[in-house]
Structure 1
Amino acid sequence: MKRILLIVGGGIAAYKCLELVRRARDRGIAVRCVMTDAAQQFVTPLSFASLSADTVYTDLFSLNEESEIGHIRLSREADLVVVAPATADLLAKLANGIADNLAGAVLLATDKPVLVAPAMNPRMWSHPATRRNVERLRDDGLRFVGPNRGEMAESGEAGEGRMAEPAEILAAIEAMLSADKPLAGKRVIVTSGPTHEPIDPVRYLANRSSGKQGHAIAAAAAAAGAQVTLVSGPVSIPDPQGVTTIHVETAREMLAAVEETLPADIAICAAAVADWRPDSEGAQKMKKEGNKQAPELSLVENPDILRTLAQHHTLRPTLVVGFAAETETVVDHARAKLERKGCDLIVANDVSHATGIMGGDHNTVHLVSPADVESWEDMPKTEVAARLVARIAEILKAHR
């Protein structure tokens, strides 16, 4: 059984770690907890002890524990150390080797991998001191999950700094605990986000894609050992760690970047590429003429990136996966798209306005292959990504 040591920092997000402990134990992962003094102001040690079925450690100067060099033992008995929520104070202490409490001593003494889930006010997260600490920790080999964008519980402010959800943290934990890297040695291309097709210097045609699903897939493929290139349209989310990211604007730029990245073993086309673009881009901003008549907009078809990859004569990836964002008869449209494009698998979802999938953190998908359809329940996009990558690895293994 794999074991994690969970260091709980002092933030309102500490309550989410109760759910993390429960989910981890449901997946067969043992959890032992260390709580800072500040963490105990938000959640009681008894709560974590009850869910983890283990002792909760809080005091660096515990006579019973430290007589046996407890902080060393705690740091070495786990397979992975997880810090959640990782406050600005904890990050600063860890980056500078300060061990004035049990959490700091454990982190300084450990010889195991460390996963950090930051959580703090957006201005604290963006402060130069915090950015320096984060970069130093990344250089030291620590892995990060989050933070996400959203509204802060304590201040009502919105921005980047919200702790990753328990499902996201658990997916990162499982990826780091897995000795098996099913995509090790594989080259993977992932497209993500929308494309912007310019009308004039100010306006463009686009869609509501946030890029969250494609970026999560890129991160999951990297965690599975793949060498990943992410070709991303304009999005407001950060680049995934451990992934080479190419930023583009238009469908033609995306296709060029994808073709430049070939050859690859796997291509996952999760981007919501605009089907059409204006046949010409105005050199100047289009102005109202006062006659209340809208200007005519002539459209031409954009290149089909999925079909280009699936039907490539010389450099077709072994496995080509497409996405079908539909608003009606989702599975039927996905089946038709699978046959029309010539790809191996379609991930289909309902993106009608009522579902809230575009821009949201959850997804409900159907995996459509030539042989069957598999429907998954609603789950976080990070979990969809992890399961999709696992399924892709199974398909490749069977293909071999």
Structure 2
Amino acid sequence: MAQAPQDQIAPLLTSEGWELLASLGPYREDKSFELNAALRKAGHSPALVSAVLTQSRLRTKAELKFGEFARSMLFTQAGLEQATRLTVAARHAERFAQAGVRHVADLGCGLAADSLALASMDITVTAVEMDETTAACATVNLIPFPNATVVHSDATTVPLDGVDGVWLDPARRVTSTSGTKRIWDPEAFSPPLSFVESLAATGRAVGVKMGPGMPHESVPAGCEAQWVSVGGDVTEVALWFNSVRRPGIRRAALLLGPQGAAELTSAEDFDGGPAAPVGPAEGYLYEPDGAVIRAGLVADVALQLRGHLLDEHIAYICAPELVDTPFARAYKVLEVMPYNVKALKAWVKENGFTVLDIKKRGTSVTPEELRKQLFAGSKVAGKKAGQKTATLVLTRIGEDRVAISVEPV
């Protein structure tokens, strides 16, 4: 039976546990059994060894979100899954700093990623966490910052006297013995979206992190909704109220990647904004970033590219010329074919393709199943040497299902 989170953290909050954890190098799965035996042979208890190895594994995994800071932090599995990447947390903190906020309550602070970013900007932080084990981790993680305090309490009942800013990251998962399960209803979050709105009604600067799949109709009026994508992965939609909401912006898509940051914004509500023309598959096909799609800004990108949509309800854009944009990935259109499995199988065979990258929107086709059908009976499928790759985009143009052969730019 898996150990409860508190059983994996408590042994580390001792001098022996902390020193042992600090003595380990990067976690390696292939060496874990050997290391487990060596630590037990050295006289450490099975409970401590299990806790140390679990934490070492989580620290190594957490480097994707926290970089080198992960090496001195404490994590729980559930907390790490929901934790904000440090690069994104820094963006949140900048909002409060630029608005002149001096004291932020981080309600539902989790492992304290956002509190870390806020405290590093000399903002006083009261980090509130209801789960005792997670609160203990947050306390350790905030040790370097004397301007940050952790409170073990219910986020909805803690006093906010002297607090002029509030950040919330509601729990959107429930944990059971079988793992964690995502919750979709904003009113089932902890705390619920209605509580966030009640805080905004006080006039304080309020920001809240929500899941990126939040429906547009659930976004409250009077706030800015900013979808954030990191390396092409849409991580959140942040809702900003009052002084941390930017004037004239209702929705935005912020893309963070190796080349820096790029943002697209709109003052229009979700049912407004420009309309893009609809046209054929030609020239170059563009696949918008997920944050652009979530923010309802596909038509805006199409107009920037001097292009058109293939279908008004599907997020594929075509343009006659190649235009450099951070908001969409470009492909050169090679051939447009009706969607017909028999004809596509013949096309694969005639061209000697051994690998198919299949993308789809607006169709119920399952890429894995189609790939099996197209390579059925082929002796070359799956060969490692001399591979010949093709990329197919499956979609609809009006009522017609099509397969578009494209080449990544």
TM-score, normalised with respect to structure 2? 0.32
The structure richer in strand per residue is: 2
Q: Which has the higher contact order (CA 8 A, sep 6+)?
A: 1
Larger radius of gyration: 2
TM-score, normalised with respect to structure 1? 0.33
